[in-house]
Structure 1
Amino acid sequence: MSNRKPLVKVCGLSTANDVQVAIDHGADALGFVLTSSAREITPEDAAPLVRMVPEGIETVAVFRSEDIPTVVARSREAGVGWVQLHGQRSKLDVAAAHAAGFKVIRAVRRDAIAEEFADWGEELLLIDASVPGSGESWDYAAVRELATGRQWLVAGGLTPMNVAEAIKISGATGADVSSGVESSRGVKDPGLIAQFLDAAKAV
């Protein structure tokens, strides 16, 4: 990673304008929340947004506790290439998502047990705050050793002001943001999306 720009994912997108801003400012991946959340959209609504995304930028459907058949069905309807799995998961879940043709981001909380930081075959690990979605920042350097050698994203409490430092001190492959680029809960701010991506890519 030393000679590569950080991989940056903007999550919880729901409008064509926000998707375009993220694309224009160099996002590597765009996340669409297809689970119960203030940022939830339907697979039907996600599909035209996914079709906007040019080749070379990854599209990710985000889930919390849904079973894998539901994850696969919704993700296929949306047309994404990746799934992001939160909640209580197993190696079998990752394998099943792969078998269905998707790449996988597996999300864990920073205070998870050591086994959850092991390599379960996912392409990316995402390490989030103790309370995901809270918007609260945390000690990003604390998990540096747990994720050594892994491709992983730091998340939770990131903003345009702290993302560069968070990437540096955590040793992460990149960063994931949602609430940190919102004007109110669930409502993205195009200006903040642009600022976040510009700051992260400057690392």
Structure 2
Amino acid sequence: MSDIKVKICGLSTEDTMAAALDAGADMVGLMFFPKSPRHVTLSQACKLADMARGKADIVAVTVNMDLDGLSRIKELVNPDIIQFHGEEAPESLAAAKVMHGTKVMKAMSISEKADLEAAQYYAIVADWLLFDAKPPKGSELPGGNGVSYDWTILKDLDLKKPFMLSGGLDPENVAEAIRVSGVTAVDVSSGVEREKGVKDSDLIRAFLAAAKGVKVPG
């Protein structure tokens, strides 16, 4: 049996970063997207990344960012993984990977099984794939909207690359989501917030306890 990997995304304060690390988060996400209520400046990100370095993988979450922006993040924050959460093509991931020598994760918005077909192309270059729910109509945020989808469509998906489930997860439903989807990794952002963009340390701890409490074959 193996443990579930957990990514706590959109962390923006030292208190909540400490809570995530102390409770055993495997990955911590820092959001570089000004439209998001979870956006962090480069100086904030540097402090938070220093707390996490060596304890969890630091994930820099970007949305359709240009190469200059990615270079600044790499140079100053030095994340372990760059997450692409926009409409980036597989070629963009490949270019960033070569340029920055870092692992890359591609987030994809899905609502039905047919949406998984494009994942085959990203799986060629991405080190990780993340399947998030499609944002509600009119939302300016590609993720962190707290909406869900049919988790069973991920059952028995074999991409030869690790992937994680995201979208609508919280401490109450994460164990069930893991069981019905068969995934071995999950990601949460809005599901551990007391209000939009404001993480709650108790919810972070509860989410990690619930997710880590599920054992999967392997």
TM-score class, shorter: over 0.9
Unaligned runs of 5+ in 1: none
Q: Which amino acid aligns with 1:72?
A: S
Per the alignment, residue 168 of structure 1 pairs with: 179
1:120 partner SS: helix
- CA distance in 2 between counterparts of 1:21 and 1:198 reads 12
Per the alignment, residue 138 of structure 1 pairs with: 149
Per the alignment, residue 187 of structure 1 pairs with: 198
**1:120 CA displacement:** 2.8
Say if 2:31 is the partner of 1:33: yes
Larger deviation, residues 113-122 vs 27-36:
113-122
Give the structure-2-normalised TM-score.
0.86
Q: 1:56 to 1:189 in 2, by over 3 A?
A: closer
Per the alignment, residue 119 of structure 2 pairs with: 116
**1:57 CA displacement:** 1.2
Q: Which amino acid aligns with 1:34?
A: F
Q: 1:148 to 1:94 in 2, by over 3 A?
A: closer
Q: 1:117 to 1:171 in 2, by over 3 A?
A: farther
**1:76 CA displacement:** 2.5
Larger deviation, residues 94-103 vs 182-191:
94-103
The 8 Å contact of residues 6 and 185 in structure 2, kept in 1 or not, is answered as: yes
Q: 1:101 to 1:150 in 2, by over 3 A?
A: closer
Q: 1:72 to 1:170 in 2, by over 3 A?
A: farther
Give the structure-1-normalised TM-score.
0.92
The 8 Å contact of residues 135 and 156 in structure 1, kept in 2 or not, is answered as: yes
**1:172 CA displacement:** 1.7
The 8 Å contact of residues 11 and 176 in structure 1, kept in 2 or not, is answered as: yes
1:1-203 correspondence to structure 2 within 5 Å = 3-36=1-34, 37-99=36-98, 100-111=100-111, 112=115, 114-118=117-121, 119-131=123-135, 132-203=143-214
- CA distance in 2 between counterparts of 1:31 and 1:177 reads 10
The 8 Å contact of residues 114 and 146 in structure 1, kept in 2 or not, is answered as: no
Q: 1:9 to 1:148 in 2, by over 3 A?
A: same
Q: 1:113 to 1:165 in 2, by over 3 A?
A: closer
Q: Which amino acid aligns with 2:119?
A: E
**1:23-44 superposed Cα distances (whole Å, 9 cap, x missing partner):** 1111000000011211001111
